[in-house]
């Protein structure tokens, strides 16, 4: 195969092994082995599965490569042959150059990048709002000693046990209040255990166990989730831009 015949996501055969083209350099081709990639991979426009080793094909190895026709893969580029020149007729002009039909940029990548960024920004906004609410709660909160009355045992999606305690405390007005934690914990608390709590005197229903996880757990988890989703969206967006530039280069 010639260097000009390679296109991103093109399948080719080299020494009995199938490869898929992942990048095109000035004089080299970058590819990964196709044995671990599903045959309809490009229909899904997803990143390559797992950690795959890329191979470099220089100008000495390219002639030994052979194109492979598969459903869903772009057709190989072909250069038309020049018409024969008759001795008695003037030489015809240069034949038009045929370009391989470039693959459309994977729009699913753009949609995925946009979704990740929107969700990430939303989580960071919620993190900021929750942090401000927590600081305002601390400014007006009153401390009390609560007693654990029950502990609810649940299981998360990974099969790990999570525990939700229910507590009873007496507010400054002498009324008994019941509070169930909005966050689950790794270790169960003992029934009858005394636990310090913070509550809003103007709204005693709003109470929190006085420890780091129960006070700052919501802002922390939403902030981390926002950063992760924003980072994933940026990474997918960069990959989309790279594929788009390569598609434009092949079209020229």
Instruction: Output the domain CATH number for residue 18.
Output: 2.30.30
Statement to judge: residues 66 and 141 lie in one domain: no
CA 39 vs CA 12, 32, 43, 181: distances in Å: 13, 14, 9, 49
Determine, yes or no, domain membership for 202.
yes
Helices (H), 102-211: 107-140
The verdict on 127 and 208 lying in the same domain is: yes
Same domain for 138 and 222, yes or no, is yes
Count of domains in the chain? 2
Angle of helix 212-251 relative to helix 107-140, nearest 10 degrees, comes to 160
Six token digits for residue 142 = 């009153």
Q: Phi/psi of residue 176, each to 5°? A: -85, 130
pLDDT (average), residues 12-19: 87
- Separation between Cα atoms, residue 112 and residue 109, nearest integer Å: 5
What pLDDT score does 194 carry?
Answer: 93
Bridge-based pairing state of the strands 11-14 and 54-57:
unpaired
Is 92 among the domain residues? no
For residues 52 and 251, give the distance between their C-alpha atoms in angstroms, rounded to a whole number.
28
pLDDT tens column, 79-104: 445 555 555 555 555 555 544 444 44
Position 204 scores a pLDDT of 86
Last residue of a domain, one of 41, 75, 109: 75
138 shares its domain with 223 = yes
Q: Residue 214 falls within a domain, yes or no?
A: yes
Are residue 71 and residue 132 in the same domain, yes or no? no
Domain assignment of residue 45, given as a range: 1-75
3 state DSSP class of 16: coil
39 lies in the same domain as 135: no
Residue 163 lies in a domain: yes
Note the pLDDT of residue 77: 42
pLDDT per position as a tens digit, 130-188: 899 888 888 888 999 999 999 999 988 888 899 999 999 999 888 999 999 887 888 88
**pTM higher than 0.75, yes or no?**
no
> Do 139 and 205 share a structural domain?
yes
pLDDT band at 218 (very low <50, low <70, confident <90, very high): confident
CATH number of the CATH domain containing 146? 2.40.50
């Amino acid at each position: 195969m010639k260097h000009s015949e390679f296109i991103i996501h093109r399948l080719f055969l080299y020494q009995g092994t199938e490869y898929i083209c992942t990048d095109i350099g000035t004089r080299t081709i970058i590819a990964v082995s196709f044995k671990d990639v599903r045959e309809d991979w490009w229909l899904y426009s997803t990143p390559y599965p797992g950690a795959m080793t890329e191979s470099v094909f220089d100008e000495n190895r390219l002639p030994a490569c052979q194109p492979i026709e598969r459903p869903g893969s772009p057709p190989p580029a072909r250069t038309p042959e020049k018409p024969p020149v008759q001795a008695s007729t003037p030489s015809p002009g240069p034949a038009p150059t045929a370009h391989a039909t470039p693959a459309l940029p994977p729009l699913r990548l753009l949609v995925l990048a946009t979704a990740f960024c929107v969700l990430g920004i939303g989580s960071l906004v919620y993190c900021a709002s929750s942090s401000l609410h927590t600081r305002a709660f601390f400014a007006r909160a009153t401390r009390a000693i609560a007693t654990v009355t029950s502990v609810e045992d649940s299981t998360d999606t990974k099969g790990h046990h999570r525990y939700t305690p229910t507590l009873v405390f007496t507010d400054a007005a002498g009324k008994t209040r019941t509070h169930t934690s909005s966050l689950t914990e790794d270790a169960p608390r003992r029934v009858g255990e005394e636990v310090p709590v913070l509550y809003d005197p103007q709204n005693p229903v709003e109470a929190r166990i006085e420890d780091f996880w129960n006070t700052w757990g919501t802002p922390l988890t939403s902030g981390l989730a926002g950063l992760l989703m924003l980072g994933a969206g940026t990474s997918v967006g960069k990959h989309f831009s790279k594929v788009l530039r390569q598609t434009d280069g092949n079209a020229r």
